[in-house]
Structure 1
């Protein structure tokens, strides 16, 4: 039996595999709600909480560090490397990126990659798991579509079939192991900040505030930055490059998303290691890949070329 992956579709002698795999179980579904809604409540409470007490430089430093570490694990690892193959990595880098991406709490790596490959296979069409255009183009439909694209789709118990969309990942024992360890990496990303906060301040209160800011608020803030790429960056922004969907560039998100908000070029050229290619477009994820290449940790990086960009420009 032979199998190929074209975009996000696996074809074999038995025909295309189904879109969805086994539905998410009850407890994983409950966990999905808890790890999205509890940090979100913490994020809402963050502003009044910050006014007057409970926030110090240790909290800010820990939140910034864990945000950057886990965000880059998602953008460089889960997205540009595992989903799109923008470069090849040595095993230690591969494992490290899988772990740091898992610590962003955006779901186990196999689910994340399968969902995103499916998104590209059906971008802004039937089958896209999170298109904001799924319900039409009227103002009411776009409001509903925005909610769906931003976070509503995550509550769907139907799971994208990894056998169809990520067979290469399933064939990797390291990735399968890290996928199964998602609960452990969840504990690490939530507990490491309060442990460090308590040790650095030598107080229980330092642990409590670090847990609030560098665990709950940090996780929720990163969730919403990532989800904004699915929602905002398919509705608002400019489209200098030709793509078959409605992906846009939205510059206000560029720094916080580590370059992912240059979304139009990404959909025009998904395997490109750099998304921000025009003058002044800061792409922190691409800079990290560049550093990895200089150190010899990654190879065969798919950098955009002037010729390629010229073909994609409208």
Structure 2
């Protein structure tokens, strides 16, 4: 993950190069890894230590939950379903808000995130996949090494997908590029908001610090490990309802906490679908938000797969009923 203004770098303007690798980019990746992957771990340790000064209360829970929900929906509905896979259309101001909320998650700027995820789908569980857990050798040791790589360590240093190749539609969107260039400011805003609210509610510096820790750093840690688990554990474990060429699985028990992302096999089988659950009884909060936006005229052109297409991809022997979320 690197700052989005690097798409102007001359190397990135070579459309036939799918990835870019340079010492400069790797330095940016290490910096991002330290700031947004390591620092939240330290911040979480500080949050528990700070309990001796200020106990965890209603304000801390409200900030943690609300900031997790807003930024999590920014990632799954904005970064993933809207910008990466274009599963629906949103009015410009909604799209902009989703990009900002996703940026607050600290998982990379929107253009970089989209380019990485599109490359993941192109090479999923094959050489070229940035974060597959299945390319580190066989046996228990290989599996453990793959899980650690895909869940966490791959972000330290990796080939950077050429955004001109993988995300030309986003690079042409001037408003989105402006938002992407301010990525670090949006992350800072995501830390400032719970800090200010915590301080105002408690009228104390301890409330402000507690807000920063629980609504900011702990929230980043919780959300990023939820997202990373999709790439790591659900490419090794879970159920498979539909045929797809990679090793994706569903983890329905985690549907709510992942905001619908844990229907991962469904998603890889039908990446154009705004619904990852595909059926009304498969919990998918991200899709619920999209449908709510549609009701208010803020989202349109939801690309739902047809029932015959869903049935055609169902793995033989799976006796679950096939529905259509449309």
- TM-score, normalization: structure 1? 0.90
Other-structure match for 1:10: none
Number of positions where the alignment pairs a residue of Structure 1 with one of Structure 2: 301
Asked if the contact 1:21/1:161 (under 8 Å) is kept, the reply is no
Structure 2: which 5+ runs fail to align?
A: 1-13, 316-326
Other-structure match for 1:5: none
With 275-284 and 136-145 compared, the bigger mean Cα shift is at 275-284
Q: Deviations over 1:179-223 (max 9, x none)?
A: 110111011001110101101111111111111111010011101
Q: Distance in 2 between matches of 1:171 and 1:298?
A: 21
Asked if the contact 1:78/1:101 (under 8 Å) is kept, the reply is yes
Other-structure match for 2:291: 290
Other-structure match for 1:18: 18
CA displacement at 1:42 relative to structure 2 = 3.0
CA change 1:212–1:138 in 2 (3 A) is: same
Q: Distance in 2 between matches of 1:299 and 1:39?
A: 36
Other-structure match for 1:92: 93
CA displacement at 1:291 relative to structure 2 = 0.4
Asked if the contact 1:29/1:157 (under 8 Å) is kept, the reply is no
Partner SS, residue 210 of structure 1: helix
Other-structure match for 1:249: 250
Partner SS, residue 282 of structure 1: coil
Q: How does 1:33-182 map to 2 (within 5 A)?
A: 33-44=34-45, 53-182=54-183
Asked if the contact 1:273/1:304 (under 8 Å) is kept, the reply is no
CA displacement at 1:128 relative to structure 2 = 0.4
CA displacement at 1:285 relative to structure 2 = 0.2
Partner SS, residue 19 of structure 2: coil
Asked if the contact 1:235/1:248 (under 8 Å) is kept, the reply is yes
Other-structure match for 1:227: 228
Asked if the contact 1:59/1:197 (under 8 Å) is kept, the reply is yes
Structure 1: which 5+ runs fail to align?
A: 1-13
Q: Does 1:275 align with 2:266?
A: no
CA displacement at 1:20 relative to structure 2 = 2.5
Question: RMSD over aligned Cα, in angstroms?
Answer: 1.9
Q: Distance in 1 between matches of 2:212 and 2:78?
A: 25
Q: Deviations over 1:43-91 (max 9, x none)?
A: 3565676589531101100111110000000000000010000001111
Partner SS, residue 16 of structure 1: coil
CA displacement at 1:236 relative to structure 2 = 0.8
CA displacement at 1:21 relative to structure 2 = 5.9
CA displacement at 1:252 relative to structure 2 = 3.2
Q: Distance in 1 between matches of 2:130 and 2:32?
A: 20
Q: Distance in 2 between matches of 1:279 and 1:287?
A: 10
